[in-house]
Structure 1
Amino acid sequence: MGDRSAFDALYDVTSSKLHAVCLSVLKDRPEAEETLQDVYIKVWQNASRYASNGLSPMTWLITIARNRAIDRLRARRSRPAGMAADLAETVASTEPGPESVAIRAQERRMLDDCLSAMADQQAQAVRAVYLEGATYADLAEREGKPINTVRSWLRRSLLSLKDCVSQ
């Protein structure tokens, strides 16, 4: 009969149950919420058609929610393959943009310049540990030096590199 307060009360009492019905069919929360909204629009528009015929109003509402969710599920499955490709084109790319690529290239050139300004042995050690993934122990063994000496050596090299990069 168009009674908004009655409709509000109906919504408060039934929405969680009907949302659960939609969610169990669709397995997607945002889509279940949209479907639930469609259900209540349909209920508002067709409440006068409800016939008691021995079924409870809740059974009628659950039937509407379940059927609406199944219809949406069928529509999702019957979408043409081209639509999926169209949707994929609208998703933001995770690839870096041109500005990020240019900044990274500039930073890489600056790092290469600073490493070339260092002594060859220091630059090779920094590259090995920090760019190629060698461990301090690997470097110490390769250079025939104690590991603490290599750590101190790398620390001084990094400080020198930091000074060069910050200029």
Structure 2
Amino acid sequence: MTQATSDASQLHHWLAAIAKQDGRAFQALYDATSAKLFGFALRILNKRELAEEVLQESYVNIWNNAANYQSSLAAPMTWMVTIVRHRAIDQLRRIDHDVEIDGEDFDMGLLHTLESKEPTPTRHLELSQDARALSSCMSRLENTHRQAMALAFFHDLSHSEVAQQLSLPIGTVKTWIRRGLGKLRLCLNSREAS
């Protein structure tokens, strides 16, 4: 069993206990995930106080909806990230009604934040030169292709799980991922050549 599988299993166990109103499980879940989720919210909002507010709202949502979590639809961290992302986007829209989400400025650093084992949100957000190049190339992909690839490669979902999550045929998802990988390869190769 890998560390990621072990972590996901523990998160799933805590969510099941939280669904039964177990406060200790909620505290353990919070301790294990809050730094990553805060880093994710901070990366979207760029203001500490807004990220803290979104994090608090997100954990209230997690507490209230743990019984609705379905492991067949998403990994525990993916489910929680989705809650934080929706809350952060709502916060952005309250501030600026014209804000566009998932536009050209898509940043792979958000997903890297979730995978990192570093202790502080600031460390999570530091991108290497390679990560910036990948982020730049990812931002050039169509939103749908980018979303399918992110679910597959950064949330470790199978093609069929991605298809289910996006409510699309599996053939479409496979095509999008294959085309996205091809475009990424071309983009990264052209950056290396220049």
User: Structure 2-normalised TM-score?
Assistant: 0.39
User: Structure 1-normalised TM-score?
Assistant: 0.46
Q: Which protein is bigger by CA-based radius of gyration?
A: 1
Higher relative contact order (CA 8 A, sep 6+): 2
